[in-house]
Amino acid sequence: MSEDAAQRVREMVDALYRSDSRRVLATLIRLLGDFDLAEEALHEAFTAALERWPREGTPANPRAWLVSAGRFKAIDSLRRRARFDASLARLAQQLDAGPSDPAGWDDEGVEDDRLRLIFTCCHPALPPDAQVALTLREVCGLTTEEIARAFLTAAPTVAQRIVRARAKIRDARIPYQVPSRADLPDRLDTVLHVVYLVFNEGYSASSGAALTRPDLSGEGIRLGRLLVELLPEAEAVGLLALMLLHESRRAARTSLAGELVLLDDQDRSRWNREQIAEGAALVARALASRRFGSYTLQAAIAAVHADAPHAAATDWAQIVGLYDVLARAEPSPVVELNRRGGGDARWPVGRAGPDRSHPGARRAGRLPPGALGAGGSVPAAGQNGGRPRLLPGSPRPDAAGAGAAVSRAAAARAAGPRRRDALTRECVATPFPGTTMGFDLGRSIDVLRRTPATLGALLEGLGEPWVRGTEGPGTFSPFDVVGHLIDGEETDWIPRARIILAKGPDLRFEPYDRFRHRARNADRSLTSLLAEFARLRAANLDLLSSWNLTARALDLPGEHPSLGRVTLRQLLAAWVVHDLGHLAQIARAMAKQYGNEVGPWVPFLPVLTDHPVPRS
């Protein structure tokens, strides 16, 4: 064979590797039941093709040839290794007894394998960062180094995530399956979330010098397309639309100096019209299916923005209508924040964005008739089973303000303990500007002593709506806060100080049960709670004063159940700040009772929006 012909075969195998290696891998994983074995077999198969095709000619169905060769190589390698491990011999025998006719693996079966691969990489039993890494590795074919570079992580960290995930798939026996109909909505949620995380990491890079990393956005869109091709569910279509519509603004989104340009200020002539057209068509398709959810709605919002020739021409009524539907589909403070346009510089001063009273705010605008179902409810709302799933990223990713920060913090929460730890560390490492007061016991007691009177003045005699109103499900009302402060007096601050001062062998604190008060105070009146708190606080402060703590005593350590080593000084300082924090919380919870009544003033009243995700 001529050198030329050999070169042509090499080029063809290279091209085949780029276009089909993931398909072949997906099938090999099913046949061999093991990711590592399949990867090894994949490379052996391509090596064999390079050796044999120049001599024997190119097979009629190269993909089937590669699968067959890979399987054969794997069985062969297991047999060779079986001399050292009897269990491998059994495995080789089992595999050999399986179906071997490559012609039986039709293209439909191969497409199923790709879907199996996606769902397995995004199995909820795997940690979220591993889902992302594994998907990029196995489904997109990125190398460990490429993934590490994209996420600005060390390559060994990514490698370890992938190794652990593969081991868990094998050891816990995560099946290589497309989920059943019943499980599909939840499992698809996880897959879509992974795809959107990949896209978002590229679109609004959470770290690194550049604000965007186009490579990852490209992978996200590629994954989105693959998913729509394999499983054209409405939300998969909606997510692809959302990604395309965001991507269309990429060029206009950063200034020459590399700074973020807000949507209003973007040069709309630089938007990618092709992507906008494709995105808008996909939005229409997803909406027409009547099974859409939050991705589709966010895409619809992006499509309305894309439709406006300049910012002032934006159809705000339509956008508010869509946010209303979105808020009903997935109640989330971020959605509410965006709907009202609070906490963000998006709406110029004097034009405080759309609000509930905007004429036509409820109008569903250009949605297909009946798309929103009876009473404007979203047919897909039930898909999440009422679970307050986080919106993946801000519904308005061009907002550089509070919305983006909130969604980033929320994403960190969603990303699990590892990211959360990083966030906590970040918080601890951030110095608080303008604070120069050192700890002083007397000055601490000054504040602690007046809290009961402050609470009394603020709350005593107010009606139930003020006292019992919360910031939303799962958050404290002022009444709850007083109960929680009583719990602190009885179980937390002084008992913990005693543990420290006892200097015993066991310095560990009891965990603070933040919900002890719920059952304890069910039938109590606020007046009796306030009186109880005042009594307990006075007794505790008398006790604290009587200890005559020295500077050395303040340095004594205790062991917090989750924070680890803390000093008595830190404990007492935290007591003061805890009081002040809950006073602020009471003010905030009360303020939010009028959140819907202040109309256009929302952007000037940050108490309503600074804590869009309050916790109790």
Residue placing its CB nearer to other proteins in the complex, 185 or 395: 185
Question: What is d(CA 193, CA 123) in angstroms, rounded to the nearest whole number?
Answer: 12
- Dig out the tokens for 317 from the structure: 């009524």
CB of 195 to other proteins, least distance (A): 21
| Residue closer to other proteins, measured from CB, 183 or 259 | 183
Which residue's CB is nearer to other proteins, number 178 or number 530?
A: 178
Cβ-based neighbours of 13, under 8 Å, separated by 6 or more: 46, 49, 50, 53
Q: Please spell the DSSP secondary structure of 4-55, one letter per residue.
A: HHHHHHHHHHHHHHHHHHHHHHHHHHHHHS-HHHHHHHHHHHHHHHHHHHHH
Query: For the chain, what percentages of helix, strand and coil (3-state, to nearest 5) are there?
Result: 65, 0, 35
Distance CA 310, CA 268 (A): 7
Based on CB atoms, which residue is closest to other proteins, 271 or 493? 493
Considering the complex, state which of residue 20 and residue 186 has its C-beta at the smaller distance from other proteins: 186
Backbone angles phi, psi at 356, to 5 degrees: -55, -30
With beta carbons less than 8 A apart as the criterion, state whether 113 and 64 touch.
Answer: no
Task: Kindly state the smallest distance separating residue 187's Cβ from other proteins, in Å.
Answer: 10
Q: How far is the CB of 368 from other proteins (least distance, A)?
A: 37
Tell me whether residue 33 or residue 279 sits nearer to other proteins (CB atom): 33
Distance CA 456, CA 485 (A): 13
Min dist. Cβ of residue 26 to other proteins (A): 18
Q: Which is nearer to other proteins, 21 or 616 (CB)?
A: 616
Minimum separation from the CB atom of position 174 to other proteins (A): 5
Whole-number minimum distance, CB 235 to other proteins, in Å?
A: 22
Of 440 and 513, which has the nearer Cβ to other proteins? 513
Query: From the CB of 265, what's the least distance to other proteins, in Å?
Result: 49
Q: For tokens 């303990």, name the residue.
A: 417
Place of tokens 């054969």: 72
Report the nearest approach of other proteins to the CB of residue 508 (Å): 7
Largest CA distance in the chain: 98
Shortest distance (Å) from residue 180 CB to other proteins: 9
- Per DSSP, the three-state class of 565 is strand
Measure the CA–CA gap between 68 and 47, rounded to whole angstroms.
13
Of 400, 384, 405, 383, give the one whose Cα is nearest residue 334: 405
Write out the DSSP string of 509-547: PPP--TTHHHHHTTT--HHHHHHHHHHHHHHHHHHHHHT
Report the nearest approach of other proteins to the CB of residue 506 (Å). 9
* Residue nearer to other proteins on the CB measure, 124 or 379: 124
Distance, C-alpha 535 to centroid of its chain: 44
Residue 588 CB, nearest distance to other proteins (Å)?
27
Please give the residue ranges that form the binding site for other proteins (CB under 8 A). 86-87, 123, 125, 171-175, 177, 179, 183, 508, 510-511, 513, 519, 561
The two three-digit tokens of residue 506, written as one number = 């066991």
Q: How far apart are CA 594 and CA 149, in angstroms?
A: 48
Quote the crossing angle between the two packed helices 234-247 and 294-307, to the nearest 10°.
30
Closest CA to 444 of 553, 551, 544, 325: 544
Residue among 498 and 508 whose Cβ is closer to other proteins:
508
Among residues 174 and 345, whose Cβ is nearest to other proteins? 174
Cα separation, 264 vs 346, in Å, equals 7
How many CB atoms neighbour CB 549 within 10 A?
Answer: 17
Token pair, residue 284, equals 């229409």
Residue 175 vs 348, nearer CB to other proteins: 175
Shortest reach from residue 439's CB to other proteins, in Å: 28
